[in-house]
Amino acid sequence: MSDLPKRIHITEEGPREGFQFEKAPIATDRKIELINALAETGVSQIQAVSFVHPKAVPQMADAESVVDGIIPRDGVEFIGLWLNQRGLERAIATGKLHLEGSIALTASETFLLRNQKRTFADNLAQQREMAAAYKAAGIPIERGSVMAAFGCNFEGPVPVERVVAQVAEIVAIAQEQGERIRLMNFSDTMGWATPRGIRAVLEAVRTRWPDLELSLHLHDTRGMGIANAVAGLELGVAHFDACVGGLGGCPFAGNRAAAGNVCTEDLVFLCRDLGIETGIDIERMIEAAKLAEDIVGHPLPGAVKSGGSLSQWV
């Protein structure tokens, strides 16, 4: 337990990854309502939208309008996701988003082909182009990300060596632009991670890059989400992506690919008990989770919002 961080930073991804998954259309003003409610919880970063092709992700077709409705707030960064230069340009054009240059690789080529229609080689070339675009736009490149880092529904287990090799490629792409990656995110895109898998990947990365800050993007597809977060915390991970209410899919839908992200308020509950500061008011996050349930119109899998926060005893 000696490596537990004193404080973690949570990126709230419910409005982007959560809503993106929902099949029924969600009104723009309700998306804005949730984002602005989340901004009141104390969370320091909110991924509000993605700038992707509306044919691929119809739910994000109103990204600009959503960003337009965000009420800026001191201490809260609103960020967006994009996969190509066109998306980056749309994000820049809003004038309201915090822009981070991120180099993202994917550890499963089969998934990469299905998800982004690119081979490993295509993706490397495209990420090099994105790095040059960030440099040209004056956007720092401090963040890297390895997707499908713990396993793939199409390829099976992902070798740790491949993840380490992709981290090396990400670090190198940034260096080519004279930039230095500060934070490396590992995404359990298909919910394969277990506490053992988390340790295997993070220990290998930490051994080779002891100065790299580590970040986890976890799903709760097989019920391991919070246990995986504990494994990360014990290795000093101080950055987590999470979704209010466990948005991002419903374990009851029988959709094997898409059970929800690790739940923000459940993660905050865990951290409070461990004496780890999150900056988040758990009661406000629970209220936001209930709002999210109202907006999507079905129950969300988070536990603390129904089980109770125990705040009266803390």
Active-site residues: which are they? 250
Least separation in angstroms between residue 176's CB and a second copy is 36
Least separation in angstroms between residue 236's CB and a second copy is 16
Least separation in angstroms between residue 34's CB and a second copy is 20
Among 40, 227, 236, 291, binds a second copy (CB under 8 A): 227
| Segment contacting a second copy by CB under 8 A, of 78-86, 113-121, 153-161, 235-243 | 153-161
Please answer whether residues 9 and 280 qualify as being in contact, where contact means their C-beta atoms are separated by less than 8 angstroms. no
Least separation in angstroms between residue 240's CB and a second copy is 14
Residue 159 as a binder of a second copy (CB under 8 A): the answer is no
Please answer whether residues 48 and 15 qualify as being in contact, where contact means their C-beta atoms are separated by less than 8 angstroms. yes
- Residue length, the chain? 314
Please answer whether residues 126 and 102 qualify as being in contact, where contact means their C-beta atoms are separated by less than 8 angstroms. no
| DSSP label of 259 | P
Residue 220 as a binder of a second copy (CB under 8 A): the answer is yes
| Segment contacting a second copy by CB under 8 A, of 10-18, 81-89, 92-100, 255-263 | 255-263
- C-alpha to C-alpha distance for 81 and 46, rounded to whole angstroms: 11
Among 30, 128, 162, 222, binds a second copy (CB under 8 A): 222
- C-alpha to C-alpha distance for 22 and 250, rounded to whole angstroms: 9
Among 230, 281, 287, 291, binds a second copy (CB under 8 A): 230
Look at the block and give the residue holding tokens 């094997």: 256
- C-alpha to C-alpha distance for 147 and 120, rounded to whole angstroms: 12
Residue 263 as a binder of a second copy (CB under 8 A): the answer is yes
Among 182, 194, 236, 291, binds a second copy (CB under 8 A): 194
List the alpha helices (DSSP H) in the chain.
19-21, 28-38, 63-68, 85-94, 109-116, 120-137, 160-176, 195-208, 225-234, 264-274, 282-296, 304-307
Q: Which residues bind a second copy (CB under 8 A)?
A: 151, 153, 156-157, 191-192, 194-197, 220-227, 229-231, 251-256, 259, 263, 266, 269-270, 273-274, 299, 301-304, 306-308, 310, 313
